[in-house]
Structures are given as structure tokens and as C-alpha cells.
């Protein structure tokens, strides 16, 4: 196992609600990246946090926001949920910057009704 | 044009066969490349890094062609357990391909 954990494993929400997903990075890793993976698609990069600062962002609207804590764990927050937000949300931790190997957590499967 | 493109397959091959597929990338300055394996409804797991000179890990061989901007993965002596979706990632852009599905049949 990678040592990256995510919670919750599954979540069901309704349109307009807000959700917070959590990720604990592998020991010694200070970088966390978040991805959204819709069914049949590859993971799409949402954003990356390095030492508590956002270090890059993909093509996602501002209602997708995040945090990284001093222990390098991270949160992904999504406001005003839409049906298309239904997906597997993956976090990946790495030792430093984007050129390092990423290790994925098991993901949170979000269903928006 | 997408940053990273893969042939989605599926590649259906018999046990023991060799299967190979490519992944093209658009940014000529890209530096680091990886292959991941993803089983149905699971997280991606690192299969191997891709080095400039090409590299092997058992039955798996990865190649990088900078001139044509693609990486490749070759699987020799396919096993049933190799059935999965294979994702390429260009790490410097944190861009994943959509995956190539491989099914190995008995």
C-alpha cells in the first residue's frame, strides 16, 4: 500500500450542497495533488499543494478549493455541487515537486443527485 | 489538441502474447513520464517510470521517443493478471492520458 489515505470512501450529496474530502499524505511527503476522475476518463488535475501553498491549478472553477495543513494532510472542498461533479476524487502525494513519483490514495467516490 | 493522448483500445490478447501501445504528448519540454496501472474502480498504481534511454521491469518495457513525442509500453508474455487500464502521465504537467484498456484472455 502507498500509505496515502482518503476519507470518506463514498459520499452521496444533492445538487447545491457543499462537500469536504480529506487526504493524508505518505510519511515524508510534502506535496499533495488532487484529481477528478469521471467514469471512463483519465484523472484530471484539480490543483496541487506544496508546503501549505497552492502550487498549480488545473481547469476547474473557483468553487473547487483546497487546503494543506502543517502535517501536509489536505482537504478538497467543493461548493454548489453539480451533477457533473459525480466522480472518483483521487489525491496523490509526492516527495516534492511535480516531477516526482506520485502515490495515490484509494479515492473518494462522490455521487451528486 | 489534448496534452496527453492514448489509444483507448481495448486490446484483447491471448495469454502469452505481446502487446504494445503508445502515448503521445504535446509539450516538447516535458521532462518526466510514468506508466500507471488502474484496475476497475481502484486507484492508479505506479507501474514504472520512463527513462530517456528506455527501461525494463520484468516483462514490461517502457520507451521514450522525444523526437516524435511519445512514450510506449510493451508487455511480453501477457498474463491474465495484466488485464487493466494503463495510464500514461506527463508529470511535469500533471497530465494523465485517458488510459488504454488491455484484456488478456485465457
Cis amide prior to B15 (ω within 30 degrees): no
Kindly state the average pLDDT of the residues B77-101.
Answer: 91
Kindly state the average pLDDT of the residues B15-41.
Answer: 93
What digits encode the pLDDT tens for the residues A25-44? 988 899 999 999 999 899 99
| pLDDT greater than 70 at residue B26 | yes
Chain B CB contacts of A2 below 8 Å: 45
Q: Which of B89, A29, A32, A31 is nearest to A21 (CA)?
A: A32
Which residue from B91, B97, B99 is facing A99, i.e. has the nearest CB? B91
Q: At B1, is the pLDDT very low, low, confident or very high (cuts 50, 70, 90)?
A: low
Q: Which of B49, B8, B5 is nearest to B27 (CA)?
A: B5
Q: Per the CB < 8 Å rule, is B46 touching A101?
A: yes
pLDDT of the residue at A95: 86
Q: What is the mean pLDDT of chain B?
A: 92
pLDDT of the residue at A101: 86
CA distance B72 to B49: 11
What digits encode the pLDDT tens for the residues A45-85? 999 999 999 989 999 999 999 999 999 999 999 999 999 99
What digits encode the pLDDT tens for the residues B32-72? 899 999 999 899 999 999 988 889 999 999 999 999 999 99
Q: Which of A38, A43, A12 is nearest to A112 (CA)?
A: A12
CB A49 within 8 Å of CB A66: yes
Which residue from A42, A101, A107 is facing B43, i.e. has the nearest CB? A107
The length of chain A in residues reads 113
- b/e A47-79 (16+ beta carbons within 10 angstroms → b): bbbbeeeebeebeeeeebbbebeeebbbbbebe
| pLDDT greater than 70 at residue A98 | no
Dihedral of the CA atoms B27, B32, A23, B37 (nearest 10)? 100
Amino acid at each position: 500500500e502507498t500509505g496515502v489515505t482518503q476519507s470518506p470512501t463514498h459520499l452521496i450529496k444533492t445538487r447545491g450542497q457543499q462537500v469536504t474530502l480529506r487526504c493524508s499524505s505518505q510519511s515524508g511527503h510534502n506535496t499533495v495533488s488532487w484529481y477528478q476522475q469521471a467514469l471512463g476518463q483519465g484523472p484530471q488535475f484539480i490543483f496541487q499543494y506544496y508546503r501549505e501553498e497552492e502550487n498549480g491549478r488545473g481547469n476547474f472553477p473557483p468553487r473547487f478549493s483546497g487546503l494543506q495543513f502543517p502535517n501536509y494532510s489536505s482537504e478538497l472542498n467543493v461548493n454548489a455541487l453539480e451533477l457533473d461533479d459525480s466522480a472518483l476524487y483521487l489525491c496523490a502525494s509526492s516527495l516534492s515537486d511535480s516531477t516526482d513519483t506520485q502515490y495515490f490514495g484509494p479515492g473518494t467516490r462522490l455521487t451528486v443527485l | 489538441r489534448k496534452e496527453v493522448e492514448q489509444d483507448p483500445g481495448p486490446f484483447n490478447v491471448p495469454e502469452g502474447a505481446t502487446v504494445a501501445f503508445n502515448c503521445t504528448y504535446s509539450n516538447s519540454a516535458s521532462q518526466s513520464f510514468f506508466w500507471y496501472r488502474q484496475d476497475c474502480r481502484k486507484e492508479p498504481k505506479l507501474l514504472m517510470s520512463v527513462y530517456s534511454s528506455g527501461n525494463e521491469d520484468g516483462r514490461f518495457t517502457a520507451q521514450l521517443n522525444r523526437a516524435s513525442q511519445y512514450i510506449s509500453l510493451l508487455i511480453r508474455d501477457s498474463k491474465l493478471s495484466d488485464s487493466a487500464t494503463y495510464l500514461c502521465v506527463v508529470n511535469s504537467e500533471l497530465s494523465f492520458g485517458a488510459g488504454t484498456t488491455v484484456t488478456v484472455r485465457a
